[in-house]
Chains A and B, each alone.
Chain A
């Protein structure tokens, strides 16, 4: 319940935060909404020596259309995403997936940047970055989503590098995100998103691997003319999900296939 002691610094800008992180060393961490970091710290799974609070940094809470991309500031909350009319028009899948994260109180504080940097394979936002080929813009440059999620909670972010923006190509076509099971758990036991981008289907998977993944075999099958049903049967190809006391590996694989079929069907209707 009580985190270990740390020094606290308030950043006035992301660049200032990067400087602070640089001088504080690798035991310092960024604090945005805190809803990934603080729970870890309260259980003392994380014991950073210093926190750099960027919560008060202005100018990074936005959802903007810029040609054929949507730029979203790193400090945009899940709640803002779930209510954004810009997203409703240009990237509705992100809006609906964000509305399923956690609960109302968590959505008020959790940020896009925080979730993406946390790289939890059970998180919706990392999956959507991967699904939509987002570009993750930081204070030191940018990363493609394909390279960004290297493992569970593992990204290429340097110790003094912060997310400033995530850029998503627009995807105005109907997509569907199915999270199983909202009634029972507040996280996704397995989650599947299906989205058409241009003429092609993309399928993103949550909580079946150490990173968010795409169901590439299923995507390829669809591109090759397979039916939704046939493609969904390939959705779990190559996956070796870790079993938990809530789900055997076989069940997760099965659920992946079922939810993929359903997401494809619903996104097609």
Chain B
């Protein structure tokens, strides 16, 4: 425990100091600030060997020959495996967890990714061989000695190339060129009719560039086969150990009971680490073959090549509206790059990229479609926002365009279209049912904090310094959480309690926030609450943390577990206090007897009775524990408003954000400090997408050009502006805590707000369109092009 003060045991004080809504300092920090965090690279299994992966230098090629003899003879090498060995072993490939046909959509083209390439390589960096050696350096030395013969094929890394008629096929057996799937939501007839009758339409083509999650800890796995028991243990930097177990067992043909997966401390994930990777399976297989543990830790260069990437989508969107700016219909047709294979969660971004297009607006007709297109790139996966940024970005840009066409204030056009506070539950054209929200209230608060109306004088001030100034706003909505999950509470004979979490904290502070909940609900001293996660042996079941799911799904499941504990303990409390059960209630953190204020018992004291060796346990059973589950069947919809003011240097194109405001509705704030931290981090990534980040492949060669953190464009501290945040909460009606998620919100709200401001700044120069990232060269190019066309008009 980080706190070295006397334990607080009085429930009222516990609630005041540690309960929900308090900015409790994090329990997990003590180990992190002293260097005692235990990440996968810190795990030392005695006599572990070390693995390196040989990777394809080509974006697209057939493998026509292999020679590993030189590698096998390299000093320290214990084992070399190739795709031939994978085929001989009969392993299945990694495949999508869900395909469109599972959701009632037209059948997509399912792919199976072998854990080492067998006949073809489909992106630069795809693994073609595994070397296991005594040391990591020796394994790296042998990489160059593996000879693979490639018959290089043309590659398609760019969406336009991959989707073109007659493009080279990434999967020869795909029946429709490179189309992996088609998804659509909405009503074509109603939408077409609305567009046909609409007094106004605007249309846009927008790019969401490819992004790389780049958590500071790269991926890594340590695999062990235990000869004595015929079982396996995998330590892996995963956001979802149970999910990884399921996927890996499917690939290797192992029963899930035979594989234990442990996620130790994980240094960031952002969705990229939500599913298993080939290396997870490779180290387990290799361990069985050599009889020793096998450790593989990715270099950053490898990570840049092989981590799943986000976004990489192009969308053509149209908005139909009336003279008052009221939306009549939205239409969108998009393409999203799937990569060389469909990753387990590869479908997720595409689904969300459509379903949130109607956003917070009263949209009566919509038709939104997307095609997933195979590309010779790393596979598409969920990356903070996972499709919600794409959806919200489109709608916000369309609304801005409509406002400009009508000469309407951009905040006003939102007001005219918001779903009203009284119109909930509201069912969208994409089959969401929003439960609650006060969009006007959040918007108005943001406008006030940002001094939206005072912009002109600041614009003049910037102009006096030779700079353009722009103001932009965005409103966004998204879904907190996917699937279901399970949480347990387990007391021990000493009367202290463990939370056994199916979720998986890797920076979100669950060790603290879930303990806050239990402290408040069960009146338990904060220090007496232990947190267990991340081990499939210790946690019977879970689904990990991604998609901003844990506060609602984990929190609500934990509430169900806490309520079950109370119900189980109440009769025991009554028996111990020698009163009737009906007279005992658990209120204000302890068991109290109605009509007798002198009599009460703490949960701890009652719990201990469940562990007596005999006597009362004959009646009530041994052990006090409870489990709860919750699911996203009734979703939660966090939402918020971002307002950005920035300056653009018209000579260099550099964009510098000057002021930034975020107002969020997260339902209920569990720990304000932690929630705000999520907004800061999410903002940095959203800003990164808007201004600098780009995972760029060379269109001709298929090589990755942004293969280092510097080339990619990672935001540094000098790039972050001053942020002002506020919460304006409307409790969620569909879960007992009232929470809405916060983890991905800022990443979703930032790109449209920033681009809105950039375009606002550039509009006087005649610039009407710009795609992300708004790097200085692209901004300058847009200014130059607009100037040239203006000259053409006037000369």
Contacts and interface: CB of A to CB of B under 8 A. Distances in A.
A–B contact at 8 Å CB threshold (below): yes
B202 to A, nearest CB: 29
B776 A5 contact: no
A258 B141 contact: no
A146 B141 CA distance: 40
A185 B776 contact: no
Contacts of B656: 183
Contacts of A183: 654, 656, 716, 718-719
3 closest Cβ contacts across the A-B interface? A2-B137, A251-B777, A1-B299
B174 interface: no
A84 to B, nearest CB: 24
Contacts of B696: 245
Interface residues of A, number: 25
B140 A2 contact: yes
Interface in A1-31: 1-2, 4-5
Given A2-B140, A183-B716, 5 more contacts: A183-B654, A184-B691, A185-B710, A246-B777, A251-B781
A184 B777 contact: no
Interface string B426-463: 00000000000000000000000000000000000000
B719 A246 contact: no
A45 to B, nearest CB: 11
Interface string A169-211: 0000000000011111111010000000000000000000000
Interface of B: 136-137, 140-141, 144, 299, 301, 651-654, 656, 691-692, 694, 696, 698, 705-706, 710-711, 713, 716, 718-719, 775-777, 780-781
Contacts of B716: 183, 186
Nearest to A42: B299
B301 A254 contact: no
Contact of B141 (A4, A185, A245, A254): A4
A5 B141 contact: yes
Nearest to B718: A183
A251 B713 contact: no
28 contacts: A1-B140, A1-B299, A2-B140, A4-B141, A5-B137, A5-B141, A43-B301, A180-B652, A180-B776, A181-B652, A181-B654, A182-B718, A183-B654, A183-B718, A184-B654, A184-B775, A186-B710, A186-B716, A245-B694, A245-B698, A245-B705, A245-B706, A246-B775, A248-B777, A251-B776, A251-B777, A254-B780, A258-B652
A247 interface: yes
Which of B651, B653, B777 counts the most A-chain CB atoms under 10 A from its CB?
B777
Name the prevailing secondary structure of the A interface residues. Answer: loop
Contacts of B141: 2, 4-5
A131 interface: no
B650 to A, nearest CB: 10
A251 B692 CA distance: 16
A248 B775 CA distance: 12
A228 to B, nearest CB: 14
Contacts of B775: 184, 246
Contacts of A1: 136, 140, 299
Interface in A48-71: none
A105 to B, nearest CB: 13
B136 A2 contact: yes
Contacts of B136: 1-2
A256 B641 CA distance: 39
A185 B719 CA distance: 10
A116 interface: no
Contacts of B140: 1-2
A255 B780 CA distance: 10
A42 B713 CA distance: 21
B710 A184 contact: no
